[in-house]
Structure 1
Amino acid sequence: MPPVEDGAFAVWLARQAGDLLLALRDELGFDDPAGLRAAGDKRSHDLLMTELGRWRPADAVLSEEGVDDPARLTANRLWIIDPLDGTREFGEQGRADWAVHVALWRRTGESTGVLAAGAVGLPAQQRVLGSEPAAPYPPLSPEVAAGGPIRIATSRTRPPYFLAAVAEQVGAQLVPMGSAGAKIAAVVTGEVDAYIHGGGQYEWDSAAPVAVAAAAGLHTSRIDGSPLIYNQSDASLPDLLVCRRDLAADLLSAVSQHS
């Protein structure tokens, strides 16, 4: 039986899907990366949809791998899931920067709603980060505390065109990583200090990791400083900034000058 409480249930779901994906890597190997990736997307999606249908049958679901049902726009509760975030890295032997995203959005009166719970499974790293209980606010690394450069996670394959100029202005080191979930998890754990992305993401790419980061007390916003809003008719949510609170003003200012 899974936990009843939504935050613990999200963690349970992410762990179930993560265990499946690790077993799938062992089963299929890496000789056919495209086949492995396709199987990972489908089997993780099928597992999550089955468990949500069994244990949360009244809730709506928005999944990267599913058909977008417009009925979600009037739902009071919506699970936003990415069954396999970082599909490219999942298909590469030895890479651990891929994730499973499970988030719950809840309507709050007449407002735009809130992310009520979230979990980011990092199966190859043997951990799941959840919003409940929240992760502790990350400690400042000794290197940064000693005056070293802050570390900004960025996409391995499509970094924002403006990010090099931002990094130069604030004196940052860029750290390429795979999955958006892995990048935001690295901010939560203090392995990096910020994650900036511009272009090419959707609600399922950020909902779960943003829920986890916000619960830990980190800054989360669009790159213009406006709020990240979920369960919109257009599921595109192309940019975001997740960082330590003390860095937010300088990073938003630098992005505004170069983006």
Structure 2
Amino acid sequence: MPANDLTLLTDAALAAAETATRFIGGPLDVTLKSDDSPVTAADLAVNALLSDRLQCARPHYGWLSEESVDDPTRLAAEHTFIIDPIDGTRSFIAGEDTWAHSLAIARNGQITAAVVYLPLKDKLYTAALGQGARLNGSAIAVAAPTTLSAANVLTTKPNLDPHHWHGAVPDFRRSHRPSLAYRLSLVAEGRYDAMFTLRPSWEWDIAAGALILTEAGAKISDKTGEPLQFNNPHPQLNGVVAGAEFVWQEVLDGLRRS
């Protein structure tokens, strides 16, 4: 990993928060994208800030962001920024505090530096490959081993539909947060034992949280158990299952793989 990539992402996330929070209480100019997901003036302003700041600092890096037109030249770059300017836009619109800035760098498909920042909760998650994960500067680790039946899991109700499971739907304590990056980070922090989403998942929602989680000692894969690879031509993953190793494995064992 080139020197100071994590510092670069951290400083950029803090600057993104300054931009985003200026929109709170003011007009958000909400519009709908082609997939009916909302985008606000804050999303676009943060994206512009990050694009300028990060690409000026690393002009040879590729760029993949939820709020930018995809540039296929990223596929030829050794390093690529993978960015979600505001993960949890609906939460942002609703005036809640569970939205995040999600910033990552992939090198040849593997995430090497990551930041997830929730400014209204004052939670700054960071990780660099091989250097552990931190929350506000203090080391974090995944929860102690447990069984799925005793686990606290972040997932949505549709993921518990019986057609996803080849046996009985598992019984565990279920919670939810709107930001996928935050869900992954909460598992890394040890506050939850696992999270999973079975729908196709955009890389920018997952990339930063994936490294933070694995550097905290957890496991992560797609819903079939395959390792995650980033900076794909179509930047979506086949669902995500993540958590403390025993719980992660139990979820995978219970899911239909087809």
For normalisation by structure 1, the TM-score amounts to: 0.83
Alignment partner, residue 153 of structure 1 = 154
Q: Find the residue that maps to 1:12 and give its secondary structure.
A: helix
> Identity over the aligned pairs, expressed in percent?
26
Matches within 5 A, 1:75-224: 75-93=77-95, 95-107=96-108, 113-132=109-128, 134-135=133-134, 136-140=140-144, 149-155=150-156, 159=159, 161-162=161-162, 169-224=169-224
**1:119-164 CA-partner distances (Å, limit 9, x unpaired):** 11111211110113523213449xx79x9831111248x6464599
Q: Find the residue that maps to 2:256 and give its secondary structure.
A: helix
Please report how far the alpha carbon of residue 196 of structure 1 lies from its aligned counterpart in structure 2 after TM superposition.
Answer: 0.5
Mapped contact 1:155–1:178 kept (Cα < 8 A): no
Q: Which has the higher helix share?
A: 1
Give RMSD over aligned pairs.
Answer: 2.9
Q: In structure 1, how many angstroms separate the alpha carbons of the residues matched to 2:121 and 2:133?
A: 19
Q: In structure 2, how many angstroms separate the alpha carbons of the residues matched to 1:18 and 1:4?
A: 24
Structure 1 unaligned blocks of 5 or more: 108-112
The worse-fitting range, judged by mean Cα deviation, of 167-176 and 245-254 is 167-176
Paired amino acid for 2:85: P
The worse-fitting range, judged by mean Cα deviation, of 114-123 and 33-42 is 33-42
Matches within 5 A, 1:56-75: 56-75=58-77
Report the CA distance shift for 1:65/1:5 in structure 2 as closer, same or farther (over 3 A).
same
Whether 2:19 is the aligned partner of 1:23: answer no
Q: How many residues align?
A: 244
Q: Find the residue that maps to 1:253 and give its secondary structure.
A: helix
Q: In structure 2, how many angstroms separate the alpha carbons of the residues matched to 1:204 and 1:172?
A: 28
**1:157-202 CA-partner distances (Å, limit 9, x unpaired):** x646459969964431110210101111111112211111011421
Report the CA distance shift for 1:228/1:148 in structure 2 as closer, same or farther (over 3 A).
closer
Q: Find the residue that maps to 1:177 and give its secondary structure.
A: coil
Q: In structure 1, how many angstroms separate the alpha carbons of the residues matched to 2:59 and 2:233?
A: 22
Mapped contact 1:60–1:77 kept (Cα < 8 A): yes
Paired amino acid for 1:242: A
Report the CA distance shift for 1:69/1:29 in structure 2 as closer, same or farther (over 3 A).
closer
The worse-fitting range, judged by mean Cα deviation, of 121-130 and 132-141 is 132-141
Alignment partner, residue 236 of structure 1 = 236
Q: Find the residue that maps to 1:242 and give its secondary structure.
A: strand
Q: In structure 1, how many angstroms separate the alpha carbons of the residues matched to 2:31 and 2:167?
A: 34
